[in-house]
Amino acid sequence: MGEMSMKGFWKRELYLLRPNLWFCGVFLGLLLLAARFAPLTGPLDFAVLFLVLLGLNGIQSLFLCDEINAWQAYAAAVPGGRRTMVDARYLFALEEGLLLMGAILLISVLRRESLSLWSAGFYGATLLVTLAVTLPIYYRWGGTRGKLVSVLFTFTLLGVMGGLSTGVLDSAREDLAQGFLREDVKGFFSAAALVLPLLGLGALALSRRVSRRIMQKKEL
């Protein structure tokens, strides 16, 4: 059995998620139209959280497909397959996080929000951190058994991050109401918009090492 490249593993992920990607594309298009012609107020609405959940659901569906077609056992039989399989999935997760940040940034700009970079960085980091924790869970227990643990963690983290966002934004509510930010407040949000995604990327990189170790030791 010949070696399968990273591109081959990645293309399989893309093929399996085609229905999800079509739905996400249509949903995002509707969000952009709404942001352009019927802008909402505030830095967050449920549509953004729905985008995050769509990204998480797509990754979960890949693990369920793995169980149905015994993909992990097949991939493990390919030279370097265990490592490459994990790397391809993490690449897909990283791309999801970057696409989400780009989508939120575009929506925020169309809505003329004052904290576009903050919104993109915060929710992009939320998705990356959530994936960083849930991916090893799925590799350890599989798509079915790991689902309950990952879902509980996901909604707990989203609740915590949502509360944190609300608390942080409350500190700038007076500035936002006036339509401008003081320099110190603006500096804080600018720094957070940069630091939070970097933390998310760091968490994802550490998670990748954990998942690799799990797959190297896993009996298939």
Confidence band for 111, pLDDT divided at 50, 70 and 90: confident
Neighbours of 56 (CB within 10 A): 20
pLDDT tens digits along 38-89: 655 444 566 777 778 888 888 888 998 888 888 888 888 888 889 999 999 9
Confidence band for 173, pLDDT divided at 50, 70 and 90: low
Write out the two tokens for 146.
Answer: 């790991």
Please, what is the end-to-end C-alpha distance for the chain in angstroms? 17
Q: What is the 3-state secondary structure (H, E, C) of 74-101?
A: HHHHCCCHHHHHHHHHHHHHHHHHHHHH
With a cut of 70, say whether residue 163 has pLDDT above it. no
Write out the two tokens for 64.
Answer: 């369920």
- Please, are residues 104 and 119 in contact by the beta-carbon 8 Å criterion? yes
pLDDT tens digits along 14-32: 888 888 788 888 888 887 7
- Please, are residues 115 and 189 in contact by the beta-carbon 8 Å criterion? yes
- Among the listed ranges 11-15, 116-120, 123-127, 158-162, which one has the minimum average pLDDT value? 158-162
pLDDT at 77: 85
Share of the chain above pLDDT 90, in %: 18
- Please, are residues 67 and 144 in contact by the beta-carbon 8 Å criterion? yes
With a cut of 80, say whether residue 104 has pLDDT above it. yes
- Among the listed ranges 14-23, 74-83, 107-116, 167-176, which one has the minimum average pLDDT value? 167-176
- Among the listed ranges 42-51, 124-133, 195-204, which one has the minimum average pLDDT value? 42-51
- Please, are residues 56 and 17 in contact by the beta-carbon 8 Å criterion? no
Q: Which amino acid is at 115?
A: L
Neighbours of 198 (CB within 10 A): 12
Q: What is the DSSP letter of 39?
A: P
Name the 3-class secondary structure at 2. coil
Alpha carbon of 89 to those of 10, 166, 212, 216: distances in Å? 7, 32, 11, 15
Write out the two tokens for 102.
Answer: 């780009």
Confidence band for 94, pLDDT divided at 50, 70 and 90: very high
Share of the chain above pLDDT 70, in %: 80
Average pLDDT score, the chain: 79
Write out the two tokens for 118.
Answer: 């903050």
With a cut of 70, say whether residue 108 has pLDDT above it. yes
Write out the two tokens for 89.
Answer: 């999935």
Q: Name residues whose C-beta falls within 8 Å of residue 211's C-beta, 6 or more positions apart in sequence.
A: 86, 90, 135, 136, 139
